[in-house]
């Protein structure tokens, strides 16, 4: 294999690991993929809190990379969703809802996981980058659906609260290969932060439900 091909493969795998699975064209040769990943790992270094471990994919990430850009078989999608549904961790005290005011701060905060961020500083969910949450917002992302009136539409029920917790904790349980991060499962947000984001979605007093 010539140098140009190897560089191309390394670049492709780098895109996959970075989370842009949709740019892939479908299943790849495992041997070539492994070689490209090995090459890439030798060119990356630990920097701050950004460790090389971030390059290691779990089964869900691997399947999404393999099938990105190609129609995923229904059985594979169902396998991903079943596996991630089983990974949802429920709070030991049973409390699903926190403080919506704190949840709003978390939704607006995008710092926390880059190498240049302090590991002891605030970690945000950056929800407004993908969703509309409040009708007062004049700028918000549209990659994800609008969440305005989230609980007002679905009802202020235990079922709605459990769904909101599950979705924030591990969105792959509901939509295989979604772009939404697995906030709780991957430790991006703490259990209390997940509670607060859930409160933002389900509390009748939250601006989301006004």
Angstrom distance (rounded) from CA 40 to CA 97: 42
> How many domains does the structure of the chain reveal?
2
* 107 and 175 fall within a common domain: yes
d(CA 106, CA 64): 27
Instruction: Report, in this order, helix, strand and coil percent for the chain, each rounded to 5.
Output: 50, 0, 50
The confidence score (pLDDT) of residue 192 equals 97
Q: H-helix or E-strand containing 39?
A: helix 30-43
- pLDDT for 190: 96
Confirm if 12 and 26 have CB atoms less than 8 A apart: no
Q: Do 191 and 104 share a structural domain? A: yes
Q: What's the confidence (pLDDT) of residue 152? A: 98
Q: Which of 57, 3, 52, 2 is nearest to 34 (CA)?
A: 57
80 within domain boundaries: no
pTM: predicted TM-score of the whole model, two decimal places: 0.82
Rounded CA separation 168/197 (Å): 8
**Residue pLDDT, tens place only, 42-75:** 888 899 998 888 888 999 999 998 998 899 999 9
Residues 67 and 121 in one domain: no
Checking 50-55 for CB contacts under 8 A at 24+ apart, the result is 50/114, 50/115, 54/17, 55/17
Residue 8 lies in a domain: yes
**In terms of domains, do 64 and 107 share one?**
no
Does some domain include residue 85?
Answer: no
Which residue ranges in the chain fall short of pLDDT 70?
A: 1-28
pLDDT computed for residue 3 by the predictor: 38
Which residue range forms the structural domain that includes residue 13? 3-71
């Amino acid at each position: 294999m010539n140098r140009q091909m190897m560089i191309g493969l390394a670049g492709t795998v780098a895109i996959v690991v970075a989370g842009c699975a949709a740019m892939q064209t479908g299943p790849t040769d495992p041997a070539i993929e492994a070689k490209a990943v090995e090459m890439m790992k030798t060119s990356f270094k630990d920097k701050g809190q950004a460790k090389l471990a971030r390059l290691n994919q779990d089964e869900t990430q691997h399947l999404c990379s393999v099938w990105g850009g190609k129609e995923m078989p229904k059985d594979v999608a169902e396998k991903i969703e079943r596996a991630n549904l089983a990974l949802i961790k429920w709070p030991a005290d049973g409390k699903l809802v926190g403080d919506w005011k704190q949840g709003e701060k978390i939704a607006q905060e995008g710092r926390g996981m880059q190498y240049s961020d302090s590991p002891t500083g605030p970690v945000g969910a950056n929800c407004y980058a993908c969703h509309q949450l409040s009708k007062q917002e004049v700028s918000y992302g549209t990659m994800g659906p609008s969440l305005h009136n989230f609980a007002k539409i679905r009802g202020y029920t235990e079922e709605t609260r459990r769904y909101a917790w599950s979705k924030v904790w591990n969105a792959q349980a509901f939509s295989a290969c979604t772009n939404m991060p697995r906030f709780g499962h991957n430790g991006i947000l703490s259990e209390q932060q997940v509670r607060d984001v859930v409160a933002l979605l389900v509390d009748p007093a939250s601006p989301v439900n006004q």
